[in-house]
Structure 1
């Protein structure tokens, strides 16, 4: 019997820790042909997603896939992220969280599956946070971490730890 990875359990635990402490959990994701996100918000093959209760609807964090509905520029999208593609999870407010080893890409960012544009009215407006280089643009739907910024958080307080 093959051993199940600890990664999905750590993701759920850190999500719960963020939520219990009033922090906003974010995930940094490597985008490939198995990742379903709005393509226009992908930068350098990555996207950072706000996965807080207020920013998502029907969030399910399984052992293989993280799924939820979120709004990008006012349009509802079904998001599907393979757990293997999650690069990090952290609290936006203080950068505390955990980074994971980068696995070999399974596909190209150019081969991203198109996102469904479902019409869900109960999905909050701000699914993801503004880009770090433009902190005043609160209504921008997606952001990417800057090169060399392991914390991927505003303020630059990196406390991420790589787990194997």
Structure 2
């Protein structure tokens, strides 16, 4: 069997796409961030239970950069401008404030890898023609794509 080439994480691409989708629909994009992850630079006074929600709408931030490795921008917190820096791997979700439509991500890349491995094992043992007792077709399953 040929070896599958290694691909980069899809997380930064999905973050950018969801940000654009939410914004294009006139809603407010929010990031749920693991504030305790390495290299996260956010105002600690706004962290609750190790997480922070950041409004990343164009009207709320200045200089927004949604990079492949890092998300950076300036925003006001209690009237003071702060430089925010969040590694893409620390983003747990991107969603619209108004509807909660969006996407959650695994807390770590290794969580995604474990899910992928479990999915690959399931794919190897299941097929579309598998049946369960009473000849019910097997339920489809979702696989996390990193």
The answer to whether TM tops 0.5 is yes
Corresponding residue for residue 29 of structure 2: 25
> Is the counterpart of residue 44 in structure 1 residue 49 in structure 2?
yes
> 2:82 aligns to what?
77
Q: How many residues align?
A: 109
Equivalent of residue 100 in structure 1, options 101, 105, 113: 105
Measure, in 1, the Cα distance between the counterparts of 2:76 and 2:108. 28
Shift of 1:3: 2.0
Which structure is higher in RCO with an 8 Å CA cutoff and minimum separation 6? 1
TM-score computed with the length of structure 2 as normaliser: 0.70
CA distance in 2, matches of 1:54, 1:14: 17
- SS of residue paired to 1:87: strand
Which protein shows a greater Rg? Answer: 2
In 1: Cα distance, 2:11 partner to 2:62 partner: 22
CA RMSD of aligned residues (A): 2.0
Any idea what SS the aligned residue of 1:98 has? strand
Report the equivalent of 2:129: none
1:24–1:2 distance in 2 versus 1, CA, 3 Å: same
Query: 4+ residue runs of structure 1 moved beyond 2 angstroms?
Result: 161-164
Classify 1:90/1:163 alpha carbon distance in 2 versus 1 (closer, same or farther; 3 Å). farther
The one of 2, 5, 9 aligned to 2:9: 5
Distance 2:144 2:14 in 1: 10
Greater helix proportion:
2
- TM-score, normalised via structure 1 length: 0.62
Gaps of 5+ in 2: 111-141
